[in-house]
Amino acid sequence: MFVLGITGGIGCGKSTVSGYFRDRGVMVLDADEISRQVTDVGGVALPEIAELLGPRAITAQGALNRKYVASLVFSEKKKLDKLSSIIHRYVLSTIAEEIAKAAEKKVKLVVLDVPIPVRHGFVDVCNQIWVVSTRDDIRLERLVLRGMDRDDARKRMAMQMTREEYEELADIVLENDGTIDELIEKVEKAVVQELNERGIRI
């Protein structure tokens, strides 16, 4: 089984690339989706989060109070790091379980869509890592177009790795400073060169 990791900072177009695979029937494990599951009503990560950030971190319905938590952690890196480590632990254990199930079923290709490329549980389980990379000014404009406040967008970008740090991890860099069509063209080229050459058809 070939495990393909896709990563990149917020606003780079990582979801567009993983969506390309999902639309073609490839199994995609999306860390953000799993993160939402473990912090939704009854989510396994909630007790530890409440212990870290207090009872207001959980809504009356029993899910993560995202707005309140964001206001706490995006201006305080230590709290963000602690929160991230709690959520990551549950996300990565879920990913590991799903990869093991896929291997049992003899699945040929699994895609991991992960915004924060941790060494253990992502880098060390991927056969190859594709980084979607975009200039910071373009990322910022994309996030604002999505409806994000410009200052919030800047803060979130500043909390992530730099473009250079992401690219250092890459086996393939997909530059996404242009249109979606141009990005998809680069993805299709990489699929032919890296996956089809290994006998993986999608």
Other CB atoms within 10 Å distance of the CB of residue 71: 12
Quick: pLDDT tens for 141-167: 999 999 999 999 998 899 899 999 999
Report the distance separating Cα 75 and Cα 93, nearest Å: 28
Quick: pLDDT tens for 53-77: 999 999 999 999 999 998 888 777 7
Mean pLDDT value across residues 100-116 = 96
The owner of tokens 């959520």 is 87
Q: Is the pLDDT of residue 93 over 80?
A: yes
pLDDT given at position 99? 97
Ordered by start, the domain boundaries in the chain are 2-195
Taking the CA atoms of 140, 141, 147 and 151 in sequence, report the sign of the dihedral they define.
Answer: positive
115 alpha carbon, distance to own chain's centre: 3
Q: Which helix (H) or strand (E) holds 155?
A: helix 150-159
Quick: pLDDT tens for 8-43: 999 999 999 999 999 999 999 999 999 999 999 999
**CATH fold of 2-195:** Rossmann fold (3.40.50)
Other CB atoms within 10 Å distance of the CB of residue 11: 24
Mean pLDDT value across residues 88-104 = 95
- Cβ contacts of 17 within 8 Å, gap of 6 or more: 6, 130, 132, 174, 183, 187
The owner of tokens 């909630």 is 46
Mean pLDDT value across residues 40-47 = 95
Phi, psi of 172 (to 5 degrees): -130, 130
Among 134, 136, 132, CA closest to 117 = 132
pLDDT given at position 33? 95
pTM of the model: 0.86
pLDDT given at position 189? 97
Report the distance separating Cα 139 and Cα 121, nearest Å: 27
pLDDT given at position 163? 94
pLDDT given at position 170? 97
